[in-house]
Chain A
Amino acid sequence: MNIDIDDILADLDRDTTAVDHTQDNFTSDGNTTRLNTSLDYSISGELNGKIGRSSEIISPAEDFAQLMRCWRNERCSPELMPYPHYLMTRILRRIQEQMEHIENISMGFLEESMNQISHGSGNVTGDGDDEDDEFGMGRGNNVINNNNKLPLLCMEAELERVKFVIRSFIRCRLNKIDKYSLYLKQIEDDSMNFLPINELLSKEEMVYHEKHLSILLKLFNNSILRHMPPELQAINDTEGTLNMIEEPDWKKFVFIYIKEVKDDSTLDRNEFGKPCYTVTIEELNEIVELTIGGIYVMRYEIIRQLVLDQKAYLI
């Protein structure tokens, strides 16, 4: 007879760590819900005075992974995805901090060499920034003395990479905004919408959208539309033989990867006992099972909700 003691072991594992890693979850309205660790401990009756810091900060690595996911989704999806406001503010702030940090360190290098020339002493005069970075280059550390440039290089290269991802992400979004500008305008005027426009776009993107549309219309008006008869002067004519508003291609085929989500209510089990989501293709009246961990080619409109709920990723 086997007794399963995994949960007891897990409890023990949790206790031995000094710092516990509570992850903040962003609820849909953007407020952070902090798990109250002390409460947890008192309930379990194991309050040993070692209450770990409930980390205010979501780990940068997690944020970067999130950014990469957003970027991939944006590149593959036919529609404009909602803008990840909180994520982007956090990442942009970190980039700024890291840039200053690198600046400080390289200044430290300079001062160091100056000092060595003038006094011959290897004492670093830091600029009050006593934040040890992950490479352990604190003040007066010998690492600076051998002028080890490697950490600095790594940091700069890393920064370049993060910047590249964001640049590519924003440019991709701007491209879509240009493409669907009239459609977005229509969404704005339509109050019965699922998403307000300021959720969908960032502030800068809103400004860009407005201004670009206005100068484009000016160009069209001055060169062509002015000379048209009045009933043909509209640029967003939906009554004519052709609709002039280009919508995203909802039926576009995309590759998706089904991600594992713990205890999800919409999960079903298939005949082999594997967890899967079921979606219905309406035009064929066919039901498809999407098994966890599988890769499928599907029409975008069918799996749109899964993608927005982050249960499936576009690849």
Chain B
Amino acid sequence: MYGDLANKLVLEAKRSQQLSNKSKKGNSLPMYHEELVRNILQEVVQLSKNTEYLKEQQQLGNMDSKVWKCQQFVMLLCMERNKRCLLAYQRLRSQMLDSLAWDNNGLDILHDTLGNTQDTTDLSPQEQEYLKEYSELITELKSGALTDIDLTGSLTPPSDVFIDVRVLKDAGEIQTEYGVFNLIKDSQFFVRQSDVERLIQQGYLQKIK
């Protein structure tokens, strides 16, 4: 039937949602189903052609008006259904992109947004453009009146002033705003939490309980 392809797409959306819920942060979006989307769009075009044809027939007067109304209505419903499924899929993906942009954006270096997502090829070109624009929007928001508050910062409440951190990967010398750390693999530091929050989010350091 007409809605079946769209159903498949929504199932796919459901799966990627579950994946991102279950897995830890730093999920990568699954690939954009271009093939499937294109097929659904073709279906819609087909349907709209059908309605056009029916309209012509109706005007020529070789159709019963009741039958015509029913046919028109069912066609419209099928198209609406397809539209809903496509939009739901796209909306879900855009929400995932938003969380990507919030999570690991603007922490250290703002340029090279797409460097951390290996799946740039998995995004449709429109999505890549959207991600770039949304990141810019977030940067703009941060540089507004709320400069003192780092909006992309951690959302877990600060409990300790000083913490122990272990360096997970070699990063050489990293210059923070507060001073220079020499991050050698497997070394430990006892530092103020607010200094290293960003490095923890980037995965260079690990907090020691």
> Could you list some 20 contacts between A and B, CB below 8 A?
A161-B158, A163-B150, A164-B154, A164-B157, A164-B158, A170-B149, A171-B151, A211-B137, A212-B137, A215-B133, A216-B94, A218-B126, A220-B87, A223-B37, A223-B90, A224-B41, A224-B86, A224-B90, A227-B44, A242-B84
Please give me the residue from chain B that is nearest to A231 by CB atom.
Answer: B76
Q: Using a Cβ–Cβ cut-off of 8 Å, how many residues does chain B contribute to the interface with A?
A: 43
Q: Which residues of B contact A156 (CB under 8 A)?
A: 161, 192, 194
Indicate which residue in B124, B127, B130, B149 contacts A166 across the interface (CB closer than 8 Å). B149
Indicate which residue in B144, B145, B149 contacts A167 across the interface (CB closer than 8 Å). B149
> For window 155-175 of chain A, which residues contact chain B by CB distance below 8 Å?
156-157, 160-161, 163-164, 166-168, 170-171
Q: Is A228 an interface residue (CB 8 A)?
A: yes
Give a binary string over A80-113; 1 marks a CB under 8 Å from any B CB, 0 the rest.
0000000000001001100100000000000000
Q: Which residues of A contact B3 (CB under 8 A)?
A: none
Q: Which residues of B contact A225 (CB under 8 A)?
A: 83
Bound CA–CA A215/B193 (angstroms): 36
Give a binary string over B133-162; 1 marks a CB under 8 Å from any A CB, 0 the rest.
110010011001110111101110110010
Write the nearest CB–CB distance from B138 to chain A, whole angstroms: 9
Q: Is A238 an interface residue (CB 8 A)?
A: no
Contact yes or no, B150 A167, CB < 8 A: yes
Write the nearest CB–CB distance from B200 to chain A, whole angstroms: 15
Please give me the residue from chain B that is nearest to A166 by CB atom.
Answer: B149
A170 and B146 in contact (CB under 8 A), knowing A215-B137, A219-B130, A240-B80?
yes
Bound CA–CA A161/B159 (angstroms): 9
Q: Which residues of A contact B41 (CB under 8 A)?
A: 224, 227
> For window 88-115 of chain B, which residues contact chain A by CB distance below 8 Å?
90, 94-95, 98
> For window 175-212 of chain A, which residues contact chain B by CB distance below 8 Å?
178, 203-204, 207-208, 211-212
Q: Is B206 an interface residue (CB 8 A)?
A: no
Contact yes or no, A224 B87, CB < 8 A: yes
Q: Which residues of A contact B194 (CB under 8 A)?
A: 156, 160
Q: Is B36 an interface residue (CB 8 A)?
A: no
Contact yes or no, A215 B45, CB < 8 A: no
Bound CA–CA A203/B146 (angstroms): 11
Give a binary string over A235-271; 1 marks a CB under 8 Å from any B CB, 0 the rest.
1000011100000000000000000000000000000
Indicate which residue in A95, A170, A227 contacts B151 across the interface (CB closer than 8 Å). A170
Q: Is A45 an interface residue (CB 8 A)?
A: no
A92 and B161 in contact (CB under 8 A), knowing A170-B151, A219-B130, A241-B77?
no
Q: Is B117 an interface residue (CB 8 A)?
A: no
Q: Is B29 an interface residue (CB 8 A)?
A: no
Bound CA–CA A216/B98 (angstroms): 11
Q: Which residues of A contact B120 (CB under 8 A)?
A: none
Contact yes or no, B141 A160, CB < 8 A: no
Q: Which residues of A contact B126 (CB under 8 A)?
A: 218-219, 222-223
Write the nearest CB–CB distance from A11 to chain B, whole angstroms: 44
Q: Is B48 an interface residue (CB 8 A)?
A: yes
Contact yes or no, A223 B158, CB < 8 A: no
Q: Is A232 an interface residue (CB 8 A)?
A: yes
Bound CA–CA A203/B111 (angstroms): 26
Q: Which residues of A contact B141 (CB under 8 A)?
A: 204, 207-208
Sorted from nearest, which 3 A-B pairs have the closest CB atoms? A229-B48, A219-B130, A227-B41
Bound CA–CA A198/B123 (angstroms): 36
Q: Is B79 an interface residue (CB 8 A)?
A: yes
Q: Which residues of B contact A207 (CB under 8 A)?
A: 140-141, 144
Q: Is A19 an interface residue (CB 8 A)?
A: no
Contact yes or no, B79 A204, CB < 8 A: no
Please give me the residue from chain B that is nearest to A93 by CB atom.
Answer: B148
Write the nearest CB–CB distance from A177 to chain B, whole angstroms: 11
Write the nearest CB–CB distance from B143 to chain A, whole angstroms: 10
Contact yes or no, B157 A161, CB < 8 A: yes
